[in-house]
Amino acid sequence: MIQPQTQHPDYWGSEFKVTDSDIEQIYNHFLEVEKPQTVGQITLVIIAHRLAEENTRIERLLTDRTVYQPKKNYEIGEQLVFPVMKFAHGQVTAVRDGYNPSYGKFNVIQVDIKNKPREFAAGLDIDHPLNQANETITVSVNEEQIDRLYDLYGYSLEEKIAAAMDEREEFIRLGLRWFVTALMAEVNVGHLHLSQAILEMYEGGPLPVSEILPHLDMDPSVDASVQAFSLNYALLKDERFDEVAPKGHVAWFLHALEPEAVKNVPEHLAYKPISYDRALLSPQLMLLERELDDEWSEIKPDSGVQPVVFTLMYPHRYMGTLPLSSRIRPLFPLSNSPRQRAVLIDDQTGEEIVTWIVKEHRYIYGLKKWYDANQIPIGGFVHLTPDVENDVIKIGFDRRKAQREWVRLATVSDNRIKFELNRRAIACGYDDLLIVGTDVIAAIDALWRRVEAHQRSVASLLAEIFPELANLNPQHTVHAKTLYSAINMLKRLPPGPVFAELVRNPAFQSVGDHYWRFDSSRWQQT
């Protein structure tokens, strides 16, 4: 049985490359449909094009030529085609006798293929695949065949086709759809100014273009999908507008009316990467780093969407944000937009909480009122639960009757941070090693700026914090998690640099179970 090359997996796999003919076919398809298309729709077009192209090629090669089969006899000058050799073809230039003890007498023909003589058996009527009927040399270009090939190879084809279109200026991609510049509707400066005015009426947005377009008086002869695509593209190119919808959707917001902490990263959340030797971290410290799940720890994101419990740290409690960490990130499908708007649902009251995802700086802003209303402490456990059925994320915490607990409180004296134990009413589950509070936020804030101004090292901060925390413990030891929590009241740091400094500096001595002791006589400033 002989099959065309389009029926072999390698043709659609490792051998597949987007050709100029494919690009021309895609462009012509857009000119025909005059509407934006998904890469899936375009891939179906290319599969159909390739099948038709292959059939045309086969028909051309078979015209006035005979399909070679060993059982047939051929004459000098006869034109043959060899489907099993990718439809190579040539002319019979000689015929001679042949003999094989197993098969007896037969003929040997010489065929000139691309100016190179090749010999083949003829008049050999034996049981051989090439002697079978060749009804499958051509393929049917029908919807069933196209869908079958798409089901088998569509995913890899889409990637290659999208990559090829990305390299061509004539194609434009917005989200999941593609279009061509030649067919775009005109969007002028007046349309953009009017779009801004409409968004201002809605307090900045968010609005999809379907709610903006009716006010713009665009050319009614242009298809609505083309109008929408063209306006989306124009808004994307204008810095006044932000596309803030979740992945797979499009909605617009005025950048000027976004919260200040969304437009500009707050200093308490800005991490300036610090060079440190990760080889210093033991497997146990790496496990502790993963448990803390700081958004600036280079941890591979979890796969799949599942409930998350995280511990609220000082910078996020202070700014009213969530960390966009490795475990939290999968809950929020991220688009290519730098800022996204997301609505969380209080799991007890059903209240909607509007938040903003700032992807580059790895935080979600908008929870200050919720933290304050529920008196969530630093070190408190917060829950994020995906509600797949309603496509929302619910937020909650370990609610319990308020109890007075001994907690660490940060104070300031002589421009240095101090810690003391005080009783506070806590109505939320918390990690005892991470909980820390303060009644002097302004003073702590001033210390933060002082640390930044003096560019203090991790070592010097640990040397200041460690003795103060150690005095709260009869054994004068401090857990690594407590140090990480406390140092983030003065400087934004993930666990990695903190843990590495504990291991590197001889002043810090491990006493087991992630507890450390500080020997000031051995301290080394860096």
CATH number for the domain spanning 245: value is 1.10.10
Which of 376, 400, 424 terminates a domain? The answer is 400
Quick check: is 154 in a domain? yes
- Give yes or no: residues 164 and 80 share one domain: no
CATH number of the domain within which 369 lies: 2.40.330.10
**pLDDT computed for residue 1 by the predictor:** 40
- Give yes or no: residues 81 and 212 share one domain: no
Q: Average the pLDDT over each of 171-185, 353-367, 483-497 and give the range with the smallest value.
A: 171-185
Quick check: is 268 in a domain? no
- Give yes or no: residues 253 and 286 share one domain: no
**pLDDT computed for residue 137 by the predictor:** 57
- Give yes or no: residues 162 and 249 share one domain: no
Quick check: is 364 in a domain? yes
- Give yes or no: residues 417 and 396 share one domain: no
| Rounded CA separation 419/471 (Å) | 9
Quick check: is 241 in a domain? yes
Six-digit token string for 490: 């003065």
Distance of CA 337 to the CA centre of its chain: 11
Cβ-contact 357, 245 below 8 angstroms: no
Quick check: is 267 in a domain? no
Asked if the model's pLDDT at residue 319 lies above 60, the reply is yes
With 0-12 / 13-18 / 19 or more C-beta atoms within 10 angstroms meaning exposed / middle / buried, residue 347 is: middle
Quick check: is 262 in a domain? no
For 192, the domain range is 184-257
Per-residue b/e over 460-491, b at no fewer than 16 CB within 10 Å? ebbbbbbebbbeeeeeebbbbbbbbbbbbbbb
Q: For 194-229, how does the pLDDT look when each residue is reduced to its tens digit (9 = 90+)?
A: 999 999 999 998 999 999 999 998 888 899 999 999
Quick check: is 270 in a domain? no
- Give yes or no: residues 165 and 16 share one domain: yes
- Give yes or no: residues 27 and 55 share one domain: yes
Q: For 212-271, how does the pLDDT look when each residue is reduced to its tens digit (9 = 90+)?
A: 999 998 888 899 999 999 999 999 999 999 999 887 788 999 999 999 999 999 999 999
Which of 368, 400, 432 terminates a domain? The answer is 400
Cβ neighbours of 443 (radius 10 Å): 16
Asked if the model's pLDDT at residue 445 lies above 90, the reply is yes
- The backbone region for 259, taken as left when phi is positive above 0, alpha when psi lies in -120 to 50, beta otherwise, is beta
- Give yes or no: residues 127 and 149 share one domain: no
**pLDDT computed for residue 231 by the predictor:** 95
- Give yes or no: residues 160 and 16 share one domain: yes
Cβ neighbours of 386 (radius 10 Å): 18
- Give yes or no: residues 91 and 170 share one domain: no
Asked if the model's pLDDT at residue 488 lies above 90, the reply is yes
- Give yes or no: residues 396 and 407 share one domain: no
Count of structural domains within the chain: 5
Radius of gyration of the chain (CA): 35
Q: For 39-92, how does the pLDDT look when each residue is reduced to its tens digit (9 = 90+)?
A: 999 999 999 999 888 888 777 777 777 888 888 899 898 888 787 777 788 888
Quick check: is 42 in a domain? yes
Write phi, then psi, for 34 (nearest 5 degrees): 55, 35
Q: What is the mean pLDDT of residues 103-119?
A: 89
Q: What angle do CA 320, 397, 300 make, to 5 degrees?
A: 70
- Give yes or no: residues 16 and 164 share one domain: yes
Checking 12-20 for CB contacts under 8 A at 24+ apart, the result is 12/149, 12/152, 12/153, 12/156, 12/157, 13/153, 13/156, 16/153, 16/156, 16/157, 16/160, 17/160, 18/46, 18/160, 18/161, 18/163, 18/164
